[in-house]
A and B are shown apart, each in its own frame.
Chain A
Amino acid sequence: MAIEVTEQQADHVSAAIRVSVPDKGLKQDLRAVSIVWRRELIRFRSDRLRAVTSLVQPVLFLFVLGTGLSALASRGMPSGVDFKTFIYPGVLSMSVLFTAIFSAASIVWDREFGFLREMLVAPVSRAAIVIGKCLGGATVSTFQGIVILALAGLAGVPYDPVLFLTVIGELLLLSFTLTAFGVMMAARIKQIQAFMALTQMLVMPLFFLSGALYPLNGLPTWLTVLTRFDPLTYIVDPMRHAVFSHLNIPPGTVAALSPGVTWAGWHVPIGLSLGIVALMGATMLGVAIMEFQRTE
């Protein structure tokens, strides 16, 4: 009798397994990537305050600093370009910088509030979770960049579809790399205060050393060297190149304001610049995946 019951139970159990066991492998991992990505979007949509506050700083830089300094800067600048237009690509990357890092910070929150555990005990590869997180961060921060991009006219940048697609592509690349960087750090840093302090310490130097606010030529050697080590440099320059190529300005002005990145006199092509950012992103993604794969 007891055996009968057990067998009956076993039948029910196996019926339940047929429902529960998913297709193993890529399809299942893609579904996990997709849901982790979508969660970032849902959370971003419900957090309007964050969306608004992270626009404050780029807008301040572009319109307050940009307008305030344009009279002063115009004396030293070749004719035909507004200072706001000049710093516009830098401001775009800045808007992405904050949102991307904050997206990664949500991993630290998730750990603190337990939700990370729900993700880490799931029968999917940790890579799927980390990739989903990075794609999510990249999407929401690119979206923030697009909001600033909508203000292009106010900075004297034309609404040109090709230019916009180029810049959006570059923002996406930057966002992904920055989120991967943040996620990599979030794997190690368990406290939100420590994470915030560290990012605050890193964000401003990254921005100031990127050539967002000044051209990359004619700098003292120490600053030249530092700018070449800043990953942001390799995205601000291609973006500025894209913006300038859609403006009617004399070649002399372009050469003075958008000289391109050089390594000991060698001009780094745009493709290589973007390649460097992509490689950094991929490397940091790889490290982040490895960090999260270690068993507790």
Chain B
Amino acid sequence: MSEPAVLVDGLVKRYGEVEAVRGIGFEVEPGETFGFLGPNGAGKSTTIKILCTLADPTSGTARVAGYDVVKNRDTVRRNIGLVFQDPTLDSYLTGEQNLRFHADLYGVPRAHLNQRMRQVLEMVGLWERRESVVATYSGGMKRRLEIARGLLHAPRVLFLDEPTVGLDPQTRSSIWEYINDLKQREDITIFLTTHYMDEAENCDRIAIIDHGKIVAIDTPENLKASVGTDRVQISTSDDQTAIQEIKDRFALDAAIHEGMVTFNVESGEHFVPKLFAELTQQIKAVSVARPSLDDVFMSYTGKTIRDAEATAGDRNRAHVMAFRRGR
């Protein structure tokens, strides 16, 4: 049996008084696509920084590709590929020059370099554009080039920190095609963070992280099955009264999320007619949804991920905007 690709135990990261990561532990098997799902400020980026040796843990241990991230920093670095949230390309160089730079820093053997470079560039569909200066690339092309670069030195674990943030929906789905394709072609473990629910669906397993703690960890299917209820959202003439009536008559806890009265109930489509019969308030709009990862997030944290985003405050405004546009 081989070792886990990522092994984290009792990991804590404190910045002064703020505890960004509050004692998390998990394992990622080799070949797995593992997602960290949570709102901005939940501790995702801090965790990925520790795993990539960019920050030291306050306490606890983390091993990547079998090596301790603190004790064997350089060995870990040689075995991981990184694609950051923010671009890290030299836009004055061509795509190929960016890759050659990376190859020299990571010591990719020269004998294999040209072959490997062609392989990764073709994989992300940039072989034809390799001689163009990166400044002329679109946002999606830049991200694809970063993914190609992250793979160039044949890492055992590829870290993708919010791989599609700030990209338009079409580009996002094409990036995911490349990532899924990559899983077929390369023997690699992928560790990614995201706050897009639909992206998390692509993962073999997901850890839901909130306020620096893992609140749930399982396959997307199991997580959704664990919720078991449908989500009903209604808009009424007086939402506060409606919430009170739902509590009194059906013993259900409703709350306002995304501007609508929201609650979870088994077989929602059968419940809605009762709602019309019982509520004194006029119902203006209704929606019933099967459990999604949104509901999983809500059932474990008591809020939707968008509410969590909103409370993250102004410093994350740009990401929140990107998130809303992306939906």
Which residues of A line the B interface, CB within 8 A? 3, 6-7, 9-10, 12-13, 16-17, 19-23, 28, 31-32, 34-35, 39, 42-43, 46-47, 110, 113-115, 117-119, 121-124, 295-296
Q: In the complex, are the beta carbons of A19 and B112 less than 8 A apart?
A: yes
Asked whether B154 lies within 8 Å of A121 as measured between CB atoms, the reply is no
Residues of chain B with a CB closer than 8 A to A17's CB: 79, 154, 156
* Neighbouring A residues of B104 by C-beta, 8 Å: 31-32, 34-35
B53 touches A (CB below 8 Å): yes
* Cα–Cα, bound, A34→B116 (Å): 21
Given contacts A46-B92, A113-B91, contact A39 B79 (CB under 8 A): no
B77 touches A122 (CB 8 A): yes
CB distance from A144 to the nearest CB of B (A): 18
Q: Which 8 A-B pairs have the closest CB atoms?
A: A22-B107, A35-B104, A122-B105, A12-B187, A114-B88, A123-B77, A10-B2, A16-B154
Known contacts being A20-B106, A114-B84, is A10 close to B153, with CB within 8 Å?
Answer: no
B87-138 contacts to A (CB < 8 Å): 87-93, 97, 100-102, 104-109, 112, 116, 133
With A20-B153, A121-B52 given, can you name 16 additional A-B contacts, CB distance below 8 Å?
A9-B30, A10-B2, A10-B30, A13-B30, A13-B156, A17-B156, A19-B154, A22-B78, A113-B87, A113-B91, A114-B87, A118-B105, A119-B105, A121-B54, A124-B107, A296-B54
CB <8 Å contact, A42 and B106: no
Complex: chain A residue closest to B92, CB-CB: A43
- Chain B residues with Cβ below 8 Å from A6 are 1-2, 29-31
Q: Is the CB of A16 within 8 A of B93?
A: no
Tally inter-chain residue pairs, CB-CB below 8 A: 111
Cα-based distance from A296 to B150 in the complex (angstroms): 21
Q: Find out whether the CB atom of A22 lies under 8 angstroms from the CB atom of B187.
A: no
**Chain A interface helix/strand/loop/mixed:** helix
- Please indicate the chain A residues that have their CB under 8 angstroms from the CB of B2 in the complex: 6-7, 9-10, 13
Residues of B within 8 A of A119 (CB): 105
User: Are B1 and A3 interface neighbours, CB within 8 A?
Assistant: yes
- Expressed in whole angstroms, the Cα–Cα distance for A113 and B89 within the complex equals 8
B interface secondary structure, majority:
loop
User: Once bound together, how far apart are the Cα atoms of A19 and B117, in whole Å?
Assistant: 13
Contact present for B102 and A20 (CB under 8 Å): no
A296 to B52, CA, bound (A): 12
B101 adjacent to A16 (CB under 8 Å): no
Chain A residues with CB under 8 Å of B88's CB are 114-115, 117-118
B residues near A, CB below 8 A? Answer: 1-2, 29-31, 52-56, 74-75, 77-79, 82, 84, 86-93, 97, 100-102, 104-109, 112, 116, 133, 153-156, 187
Cα A22 to Cα B133 in complex, Å, equals 28
Name the residue in A17, A21, A28, A118 with the highest tally of chain B Cβ atoms < 10 Å from its Cβ.
A118
B54, B87, B154 interface centre (most CB from chain A within 10 Å): B154
Would A114 and B105 count as touching, CB distance under 8 A? Answer: no
Do the beta carbons of B107 and A114 come within 8 Å of each other? no
**Most-contacted residue by chain A among B53, B82, B90 (CB, 10 A):** B90
Smallest CB separation, A27 vs chain B (Å)? 8
Highest count of chain A CB atoms <10 Å: which of B92, B105, B154, B187: B105
A9, chain B: closest CB distance, angstroms:
5
Q: Across the interface, which residues of B come within 8 angstroms of A122, CB to CB?
A: 77, 102, 105-106
* Complex contacts, B133 vs chain A, CB 8 Å: 46
How far is B15's CA from A131's CA once the two chains are assembled, in angstroms?
Answer: 32
Establish whether residues A21 and B78, one from each chain, have CB atoms under 8 Å apart when the complex forms. Answer: yes
Chain B residues within 8 Å of A114, by CB: 84, 86-89
A123 touches B156 (CB 8 A): no
Q: Which of A7, A28, A39, A295 contacts B101 (CB 8 A)?
A: A39
Residues of A within 8 A of B86 (CB): 114
Contact A121-B82, Cβ < 8 Å, known A9-B187, A295-B56, A296-B55: yes
Chain B residues positioned under 8 Å from A7 (CB to CB): 1-2
CA distance A23 to B106 in the complex (A): 10
With a cutoff of 8 Å between Cβ atoms, the chain A residues found around residue B100 in the complex are: 35
CA A20 to CA B74, docked complex, whole Å? 13
Asked if A42 contacts B187 (CB within 8 A), the reply is no
B295 to chain A, nearest CB (A): 31
Residue of B nearest to A29 (CB): B107
Cα–Cα, bound, A58→B104 (Å): 37
Residues in B with CB closer than 8 Å to A12 are: 187
- Establish whether residues A35 and B101, one from each chain, have CB atoms under 8 Å apart when the complex forms: yes
Is B92 a contact partner of A16 (Cβ separation < 8 A)?
no
Question: Please, how many angstroms separate the alpha-carbon atoms of A114 and B98 in the complex?
Answer: 13
**In the assembled complex, which residues on chain A have CB atoms less than 8 Å from the CB atom of B53?**
121
Output the least CB separation between B14 and chain A (Å).
15
